[in-house]
Structure 1
Amino acid sequence: MGAKISSDLIRGHTDTIVLGILKEGDSYGYEIYKKIIEKSEGQYELKEATLYSSFRRLEQEGCVTSYWGSETQGGRRKYYSMTASGETLYKRNRDDWEFTKEVIDKLL
């Protein structure tokens, strides 16, 4: 497996990464954790503690809501769902990232 990305470079983008996954549909912690590894092709793994503090932050800011899944889904899992505020935050952060990337590409 290749190099892993520095967590310092990604730290400020955790919430946006989580929102990007929730944009595809409601999900629960472990599934989101796995999707991040999958999407980064194994080059980035979000620590569980970081993921759950992101959920708490996003929920406090009204960007996500959570609910308990049914027993039939294999145990009671807490699902997270993106709100309209979450969608707005995702788009704004995504635009900011595109701009930052352009500037850094020019500087490097």
Structure 2
Amino acid sequence: MHIDKDLVAASATPLVLGILAEGDLYGYAILKRVAELSGGRMNWNDGMLYPLLHRLERLGHVSSSWEVAETGRRRKHYSLTPAGRAALAERRAQWGVVVDALQRVWQSGPGPAPAGAWA
């Protein structure tokens, strides 16, 4: 399934903030988590993730630090800051309104619900 780029862009920030709320991760692990959470239907690339992480860092929502993995390779790990937790809470509230409205319109509208629509 192809997911429209506007929908991907709109959901990227709350998705990354939510993933980092689970714990600190480095870029490749974030990409893997996105794919895992979407059942493989969302496959982001570096070119999408790193500009987002840098923007979140500039906004103070994410902090980063270099760490050395067991393999000896240096990786930049990203952490959610208190401001990032507040931003995540706000995004969750906003998306709750959107999801609720979509559920209502799809349940009341004519015809079958789109594939993957919420029950």
TM-score by length of 2: 0.82
Superposed, which structure 2 residues align to 1:28-107 within 5 Å? Answer: 28-70=26-68, 72=70, 74-107=72-105
CA displacement 1:74-99 (0-9 Å, x = unmatched): 30000001000000101110110011
The CA deviation at 1:48 is 1.5
The CA deviation at 1:71 is 5.3
Identity %: 36
Q: Distance in 2 between matches of 1:71 and 1:34?
A: 17
Which structure exhibits the higher relative contact order, with contacts defined as CA atoms closer than 8 Å and separated by 6 or more residues?
Answer: 1
The structure with the larger Rg is: 2
Q: Distance in 1 between matches of 2:71 and 2:62?
A: 21
Alignment-mate amino acid for residue 92 of structure 2:
R
Alignment-mate amino acid for residue 90 of structure 1:
L
The CA deviation at 1:70 is 2.1
The CA deviation at 1:105 is 2.2
- Segments of 5+ residues of structure 1 without an aligned counterpart are none
The CA deviation at 1:73 is 5.0
The number of residue pairs the alignment matches comes to 106
Alignment-mate amino acid for residue 104 of structure 1:
L
The corresponding residue for 1:9 is: 7
CA RMSD of aligned residues (A): 1.4
Alignment-mate amino acid for residue 57 of structure 1:
R
CA displacement 1:50-75 (0-9 Å, x = unmatched): 10011011000000000000254530
Q: Distance in 2 between matches of 1:88 and 1:22?
A: 13
Q: Distance in 2 between matches of 1:74 and 1:7?
A: 36
Higher helix share: 1
